[in-house]
């Protein structure tokens, strides 16, 4: 399902350290400077219950979390996020920028944890009542570059970030497969480009979407 509402829904996806948060911030300020109302949000999280679920699933110290449980926690957080935050903002006509969405679950739990990409997609489509981004910006990062970036300055890695490079390589392949499946809904960019260059490419792709009237993006 697509967004039959006046807002615009954009997801930033990619491996850990790809530059998602950096580019979401860049796009938010570019759009805000044009007078648009922008809601920046993230997953897991984005709601009070979602932030609690985020710390359950990402923090170390909760013992072993089996793969199905992990997938369902992410889906539960996303259900709250879609219904309480994203849909209402789209209905108000806002631009919603989310740092991660369904594709992250398909890649991390479906491919990374080997639960199967179709199964994970299905539970998430159910959880969100089919709410899909108008555009997904996929920042394609080499797992080694991602790890170097996120551990710069000795930052600690969370439960998923600290998985082996081979896990992150499977995730990268899964993201690229999702984009190849529906190229008209994706902008895939090499994450190693300079921040400003990426920001410009993203803005160029988003601009025409802002001009489209309600319903035409469906």
Binding site for Mg ion (CB under 5 A): 20-21
Q: How far apart are CA 100 and CA 15, in angstroms?
A: 10
Angle made by CA atoms 208, 181, 108, in degrees to the nearest 5: 105
Q: Which does 22 bind (CB under 5 to 8 A by kind): ligand ATP, Mg ion, none?
A: ligand ATP
One residue of 49, 83, 84, 150 binding ligand ATP per CB under 6 A: 150
Q: What does 155 interact with, of Mg ion, ligand ATP, none (CB < 5 to 8 A by kind)?
A: none
Q: Which does 121 bind (CB under 5 to 8 A by kind): Mg ion, ligand ATP, none?
A: none
**Burial zone of 126 (CB within 10 Å; 0-12 exposed, 13-18 middle, 19+ buried):** exposed
Q: Please tell me whether residue 198 binds ligand ATP under the rule CB under 6 A.
A: yes
Q: Does 194 participate in binding ligand ATP (rule CB under 6 A)?
A: yes
Please give the structure tokens belonging to residue 192. 């190693």
Residue nearest to ligand ATP (CB): 19
Looking at the Cβ atoms of 20 and 81, the one nearer to Mg ion is 20
Which bin fits 215, alpha (ψ -120 to 50), beta or left (φ > 0)? left
Contact positions with ligand ATP (CB under 6 A) in 12-51: 14, 16-22
Work out whether the CA dihedral 117, 120, 126, 131 comes out positive or negative: negative
142 touches ligand ATP (CB under 6 A): no
- For 181, counting Cβ atoms within 10 Å of its Cβ (0-12 exposed, 13-18 middle, 19+ buried), the class is exposed
Q: Which residue is nearest to Mg ion (CB)?
A: 21
Would you give the DSSP letter of residue 153? G
Name the site residues for ligand ATP (rule: CB under 6 A).
Answer: 14, 16-22, 149-150, 152, 193-195, 198
């Amino acid at each position: 399902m697509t967004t039959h509402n006046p807002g615009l829904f954009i997801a930033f996806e990619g491996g850990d350290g790809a530059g998602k948060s950096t580019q979401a911030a860049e796009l938010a300020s570019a759009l805000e400077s044009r007078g648009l109302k922008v809601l920046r949000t993230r997953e897991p999280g984005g709601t009070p219950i979602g932030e609690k679920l985020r710390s359950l699933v990402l923090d170390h110290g909760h013992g072993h979390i089996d793969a199905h449980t992990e997938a369902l926690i992410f889906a539960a957080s996303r259900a709250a996020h879609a219904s309480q935050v994203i849909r209402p903002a789209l209905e108000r006509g806002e631009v919603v920028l989310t740092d991660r969405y369904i594709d992250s679950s398909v890649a991390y739990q479906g491919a990374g944890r080997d639960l199967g990409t179709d199964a994970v997609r299905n539970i998430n489509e159910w959880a969100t009542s089919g709410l899909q981004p108008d555009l997904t910006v996929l920042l394609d990062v080499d797992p080694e570059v991602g790890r170097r970036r996120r551990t710069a300055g000795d930052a600690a890695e969370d439960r998923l970030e600290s998985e082996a490079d081979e896990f992150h390589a499977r995730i990268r392949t899964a993201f690229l497969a999702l984009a190849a499946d529906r190229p008209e809904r994706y902008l895939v960019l090499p994450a190693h480009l300079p921040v400003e260059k990426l920001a410009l490419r993203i803005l160029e792709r988003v601009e025409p979407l802002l001009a489209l009237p309600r319903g035409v993006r469906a």
